[in-house]
Amino acid sequence: MMHDSNVSKRDAILRSALQAFSTYGFRKTSMNDIADGAGMSRAAVYQHYRNKDDIFRSLTQMYYDNAAGDLATALSAEKTVPELLQDAFETQIGDMIETLVKSPHGMELLDTGEKTTATIKQTGEDRLRDIYMQWLERTAAEGRITLPDTPEQVADVIMVGLKGLKTTANSVSQLRARLAIFATLIAGGLMAG
């Protein structure tokens, strides 16, 4: 019972922190802002997290955990290759990235992530790349696609492309439009062989 209460408190803190970071930016967000948004005292927040960096690392880990599960599910659906890729790309971007794109502080938050969560981010990106790689291997073995290079190289290109789209989009609608085009281009290249 105590465990469930702690999990829900941690979730409330993370939701509040994401909202505060996107509203005020990382540097201007205080632990009081996070505590107020979570409906608890600052002391209560400190029972769960040491500081803002700790919260930011937890948010990053939560994003990658959710993205990996959702991505694997999206790529296992019974759909055409273009539909699978579009769903996968949309799923990987997820709500948290949408929040960053919408935020006037999005670039600051991405920079903070580079400094604060480098190891978590690298492990998470590798995990997502591996999910694409396994899907590429499986789909090629089924004869549905032809790979122009190794599954690792194609998965790397997908990941780099998604990163570029994510970091250069000016709005969520622009990001979604670009994801659709990217999915069509990748699928077309894989199916052309």
Please tell me whether residues 41 and 125 are part of one structural domain: no
Structure tokens at 157: 């290109």
> CA-based Rg of the chain, rounded to a whole angstrom?
18
Q: Is residue 144 part of a domain?
A: yes
Residue 5's CATH number: 1.10.10.60
More confident call, 166 vs 65:
65
pLDDT tens-place string over residues 151-162: 999 999 999 999
- What residue numbers bound the domain in which 113 lies? 60-192
Please tell me whether residues 163 and 87 are part of one structural domain: yes
Q: Are 94 and 67 in contact (CB under 8 A)?
A: yes
pLDDT tens-place string over residues 123-150: 999 999 999 999 999 999 999 999 999 9
How far apart CA 58 and CA 10 sit, in angstroms, is 9
End-to-end CA distance of the chain: 55
- pLDDT above 70 covers a percentage of the chain that reads 97
Please tell me whether residues 137 and 102 are part of one structural domain: yes
Please tell me whether residues 165 and 81 are part of one structural domain: yes
How far apart CA 158 and CA 138 sit, in angstroms, is 16
Instruction: Report how many domains make up the chain.
Output: 2
Q: What confidence score (pLDDT) does residue 72 get?
A: 97
Three-state DSSP state, 147: coil
Please tell me whether residues 116 and 174 are part of one structural domain: yes
More confident call, 28 vs 192:
28
Summary mean pLDDT of the chain? 92
Q: Is residue 37 part of a domain?
A: yes
A 10 A CB-CB count for 167 gives 13
* CA neighbor of 155 nearest in space, from 54, 75, 83: 75
How far apart CA 140 and CA 103 sit, in angstroms, is 39
How far apart CA 141 and CA 138 sit, in angstroms, is 5
Residue 71's CATH number: 1.10.357.10
Please tell me whether residues 6 and 99 are part of one structural domain: no
Please tell me whether residues 44 and 64 are part of one structural domain: no
Please tell me whether residues 31 and 71 are part of one structural domain: no
